[in-house]
Amino acid sequence: MNKEIPELYGSMIFSNKVMRKKLPKDMYKALRKTIENGTHLELDVANSVAVAMKEWAVENGATHYTHWFQPMTGFTAEKHDSFISPSGDGEVIMDFSGKELVKGEPDASSFPSGGLRATFEARGYTAWDPTSPAFIKDGTLYIPTAFCSYSGEALDKKTPLLRSMETLSEQAVKMLRLLGNETVTRVSTTIGPEQEYFLVDKDLYNRRKDLIFCGRTLFGASAPKGQEMEDHYFGTLKPRVSAYMHDLDVELWKLGIPAKTKHNEVAPAQHELAPVFDTANIAVDHNQLTMEIMKKVAEKHNLICLLHEKPFEGINGSGKHNNWSLITNDGVNLLNPGRTPAQNIQFLVFLMAVVKAVDDYADMMRVSAASAGNDHRLGGNEAPPAIVSVFLGDELTAVLESIENDTYFGKQEKVQLDTGAHVLPHFVKDNTDRNRTSPFAFTGNKFEFRMLGSAASVSTPNIVLNTAVAEALAQFYKELEGTKPEDMEKAVHELIKRAIRKHKKIIFNGNGYSEEWIKEAKNRGLYNLVSTPDCLPQFIADKNVDLFTRHHIFTKDEIFSRYEILLENYVKTILIEARTMAEMLTKDFLPALNAYAGETARNAGMKKSFLPTLATEAEEALVTRLTEVYASVTDGTAQLLSLAETAEETGDMQQAAQFCRTNILARMEELRLTVNAAEALIPDGLLPYPTYDELLFSL
């Protein structure tokens, strides 16, 4: 297998190697110019690419093509068309034109639009994104595309991401020119999204309506053992899981997705996959594909891959760590401190631009990670708190303090780590340890945004971060513009000093889980937007609308449409969960509870009739308790359904979201606690659904 990997890798993508082989030289050069410089693609080039792409696809077994796009559902969408074209003599030819490559017209009527268009207006357009390679999957040629309305509004997650990448590149190049760099022509954002997930047995999954409809368990007594022993983390892969991971790697590698790392995560049945960094646009496409393929491969192993942020109560949920950096077209990482970070002007300018961006738009960073599922995870001792802060580590913090106070910063030498065992090799330790409680941590030459939930698209946080950093660089440029070259070092020093004093409140290197930090963050004036309904209104705050419209990332209408969609998704999610919980309690839990209470009552009655001395108070107390639980759950379920009806009738979506959070989730939590306590008393054989014991430890 090892010898086959280089040949296998990327075998199903229309790669640069394939383009060079299939296209005429002039057409290949024109396409590369479009990809690398963002220039307009002429129709003759598109026609040439279409012919080559179709030939390659057919050679590899494809019969159809689809424009693959990312609507605002958070998932991907596709409509398949065959290559066949009638030839007029009762036969067909395989045909594919440049027009078909660059533009499609799927029906857009049923995708979320947030009011951007009327329901009866069905037309939508897909436009080829040549910067993300086409690929073959299941006999179809997939063409990554943007998706927009008839009047040009972005109806997807790709279009604003591409806009933000262009904006950031433009501002970064301008700043580099000002600092004396005349060679760089483009700066790209690169990301590496680490993907956490759970695996459960498919047969068990099919017996849990909450997992099927909601992606998470709505109730369930904790297993006797969870993650307390910390023995699952980095533990030996079980054979069934290892086989799944192997097949997953193979499928991802075929599509040129650089899956690199795989391991067990903290919670039982939880795992992680991490790729190698790639350009943001391609990395987002790859992550969407990864989530889809993870689910598909799991079913082949009679498993189900759960991507919900909190599938099981009482153990860690799943996140997606967005590792973000800036790379020039000549390969320089602008967030690499080098050997002397205190003297590296370029690094410090870009570092402070990021710090400023996160401080100025921390509310939007929180919005970018907001969802009903992620609300169950953020703030617990497993994920960052809902308060956005930046971790820089001791050395960089000391560098910034020395600049702020005009004091000398002595270079810290690398310290050799003494393990105390002579047989082990010596190695140099990093100047700064990692902080796993930080939402936004500097980790050597990149920033890791750890708030995002496992099911989310990584597009949104990168749109926010790219745009916010572009704005910070634009402001820095304005302050430095006109400075003479001989005065630039001093001017940059003063700019950084001002930025540190203004934005150091966002820097926090301590324990983000502590109660003290919540109090301190409030004193610093930082946002603490605990839930999705709390933070979504920030999306339409004046300063944020101004940011996105000024940089042409969103129009005002596009912003408000996304705000409406996020609110609607939140409300719909809670209502689906409420109805699912009510159905499971009515049809599954209460009958099991009633059966056990009746059986226990009959046993106690028989003992009392025939052998009075054997009738125990414990049995009678258990019957009483089960009967009380039955009445409580029955009443609570009726109240839950009534609350759901009230939410559905609420016209204002923001009010409906707050109502769901304050009333429906509170009632669901009360029911969950009651049911969990009672479930622990009922024999597993009487329960019509699998327990946590089975779900988490069956593999």
> Within a domain: residue 559?
no
Do 165 and 187 form a contact (C-beta atoms < 8 A)?
A: no
Is 256 in the same domain as 355? Answer: yes
> What does DSSP assign to residue 379?
T
> Within a domain: residue 548?
yes
Nearest Cα residue to 305 out of 383, 252, 241: 241
Q: What is the CATH number of the domain that holds 454?
A: 3.30.590.10
Is 478 in the same domain as 618? Answer: no
pLDDT value, residue 394 = 84
**Exposed, middle or buried by CB within 10 Å (0-12, 13-18, 19+), for 641?**
middle
- The residue segments making up the domain with residue 593 are 570-697
pLDDT value, residue 662 = 96
Is 190 in the same domain as 236? Answer: yes
Do 326 and 350 form a contact (C-beta atoms < 8 A)?
A: yes
pLDDT value, residue 467 = 98
Q: Which residues of the chain have pLDDT under 50?
A: 118-120, 122, 342, 415-429
Is 343 in the same domain as 402? Answer: yes
Task: Kindly give the residue spans of alpha helices, DSSP state H, lying in 306-458.
Answer: 345-360, 362-367, 372-375, 394-405
> Within a domain: residue 232?
yes
> Within a domain: residue 182?
yes
The last residue of one of the domains, among 526, 554, 582, is 554
Is 185 in the same domain as 90? Answer: no
Is 449 in the same domain as 395? Answer: yes
pLDDT value, residue 342 = 43
Strand (E) or helix (H) holding 169: helix 158-178
> Within a domain: residue 219?
yes
CA-to-CA distance for 589 and 626, rounded, in angstroms?
12
> Within a domain: residue 565?
no
pLDDT value, residue 150 = 67
Is 418 in the same domain as 293? Answer: yes
Judging by DSSP bridges, how do beta strands 259-264 and 84-86 pair with one another? unpaired
What average pLDDT does the chain have? 88
Do 295 and 454 form a contact (C-beta atoms < 8 A)?
A: no
Is 134 in the same domain as 176? Answer: no
pLDDT value, residue 116 = 56
Is 595 in the same domain as 490? Answer: no
pLDDT value, residue 425 = 44
The tokens 């429906």 sit on which residue?
664
Is 597 in the same domain as 664? Answer: yes
Nearest Cα residue to 385 out of 369, 400, 396: 369
Q: What is the CATH number of the domain that holds 616?
A: 1.20.120.1560
The last residue of one of the domains, among 98, 132, 156, is 156
Residues facing 448 on adjacent strands: 323, 441
pLDDT value, residue 399 = 84
Is 123 in the same domain as 170? Answer: no
What CA–CA distances, in Å, run from 479 to 175, 492, 498?
Answer: 11, 9, 11
> Within a domain: residue 665?
yes
Is 152 in the same domain as 184? Answer: no
> What does DSSP assign to residue 450?
-
The last residue of one of the domains, among 156, 181, 197, is 156
Q: What is the CATH number of the domain that holds 144?
A: 3.10.20.70
Do 208 and 244 form a contact (C-beta atoms < 8 A)?
A: no
Number of domains in the chain: 3
Nearest Cα residue to 248 out of 285, 215, 281, 275: 275
pLDDT value, residue 427 = 39
